[in-house]
Structure 1
Amino acid sequence: MTLLRTGSMFTAVLVAVIAAMVSILSGLAICETLRHSAGLHTAREVVGWWPLLIYGPWMVASLSILRSALHQRRALHSWSIVLLFSTLATLLCVAQAPRTIAAGTSSALPAVAALACFQQLVRQITLTRPPRNAAPRHRNPPASALGRTTAVGRSPDGVPAGYSMPEKRAARSPSGSHRYRYGA
């Protein structure tokens, strides 16, 4: 391992530790506020679990995002859940704060800080894992598989050379991609 790679991995681990600490501390900081926001309209047995109803889906979606990042996949649905529950936590905390700018800002800070640290953690994971050289999703079949000996170049209408007239008349796909229907 080179010094650059070692430094990069060390930084990613450090970001992971800091993000975990900030998330735990922000959960502890707003735990009582979330309990208080539920206390007025909720049974006493449920009030103690109320923060879990906010941070449970947040944590599950966060783990899904981390897994997707490790597999170099997108996690749009999970990100929307994280954003939704971060917004809910922020709004519930701001609603319980005194009506001053400083109090509203300080009550919103823990949830926003946890979200920001988590996003940076995901960025570190995607940066430390270089992208795979994935094969293209759609490949033209080799000329030999189609019974052709020449499939080089394209005619003026955009159809690959070496195809019969009925195949040239076959329409492109509605998406306009380079996939053709053969034998139409």
Structure 2
Amino acid sequence: MEQTATVPPPRGESSHGADFADPMDNLARITAQLPPIRRSSVGHRKSRVRKLRLKWLQTGSFVIVAFVAAIAAMVSVFGGMVAYEPLQNITSGTKSGIIPWWPVLVYGPWLVASLSVLRSALHRRRALHSWFIVVLFSSVAMMLCVAQAERTFTGIAGASLPAFASLACFQQLVRQITLTLPPRQDTPRHRR
């Protein structure tokens, strides 16, 4: 014996008229009798607070990166200005008009490789070759400045500090950029 659920007929109708009623009307009648659904606003407030907090964290992070970038740029420019004269004195015996510009041959590759590292950091990629160029030309600048310095501890330290400070600030700038960017979503590799 099979039991079936029957829906009571609407008021004023007989049970014989319910056989011909629209099923959607019956469904609407049943759902109208259910209590209303209460929406919880607590979860909505939490997500709004989280979004606001995340927005402030991102803004603060970008402001810090901007300060780090400005400081790294100032240290690099100041370091280049300090190191320019000792590097220029290496070729003081020659009388060519373009020789005073030869320190650009040291800082040019350094700058190009630095920009390459920054671009790679923005794309969340490794730049091992560019880092090698940055470290190599920082070392060349440091060694050439030390060769022109006085043979005292403070003379050698003062001559090597501009290139080392520029390299350290640049590395910290790249680190801040990679921390600020959201993690890269790796696309799944298809197996063939």
TM over 0.5: yes
- SS of the aligned residue for 1:98 comes to coil
Distance in 2, matches of 1:54 and 1:43, equals 20
Q: Gapped runs of 5+ residues in structure 2?
A: 1-53
- Letter matched to residue 24 of structure 1: V
Instruction: From the two aligned structures, give the one with the greater helix fraction.
Output: 2
The two structures have a TM-score, normalised by structure 1, of 0.72
Q: Residue 44 of structure 1: CA displacement?
A: 2.6
Structure 2 residue 163 is the aligned partner of structure 1 residue 114: no
Q: What residue number does 2:37 align with?
A: none
The two structures have a TM-score, normalised by structure 2, of 0.69
Distance in 2, matches of 1:47 and 1:107, equals 21
Deviating 4+ runs (over 6 angstroms)? none
Q: Residue 60 of structure 1: CA displacement?
A: 0.4
- SS of the aligned residue for 2:91 comes to helix
The CA deviation string for residues 9-56 of structure 1, in whole angstroms up to 9 with x for no partner, is: 10000000000000000000111110001324x553232111101000
Structure 2 residue 120 is the aligned partner of structure 1 residue 68: yes
Q: What residue number does 1:13 align with?
A: 66
Distance in 2, matches of 1:19 and 1:52, equals 19
Q: Which has the larger radius of gyration?
A: 2
Q: What residue number does 2:183 align with?
A: 131
Distance in 1, matches of 2:82 and 2:96, equals 21
Q: Gapped runs of 5+ residues in structure 1?
A: 142-184
- Higher relative contact order (CA closer than 8 Å, sequence separation 6+): 2
Is the CA contact (8 Å cut-off) linking 2:91 and 2:100 kept in structure 1? no
Q: What residue number does 1:140 align with?
A: 191
- Letter matched to residue 102 of structure 2: W
Is the CA contact (8 Å cut-off) linking 2:143 and 2:160 kept in structure 1? yes
Q: What residue number does 2:86 align with?
A: 33
- Letter matched to residue 30 of structure 1: A
Q: Residue 135 of structure 1: CA displacement?
A: 1.3
Distance in 2, matches of 1:139 and 1:16, equals 39
| Number of aligned positions between the proteins | 139
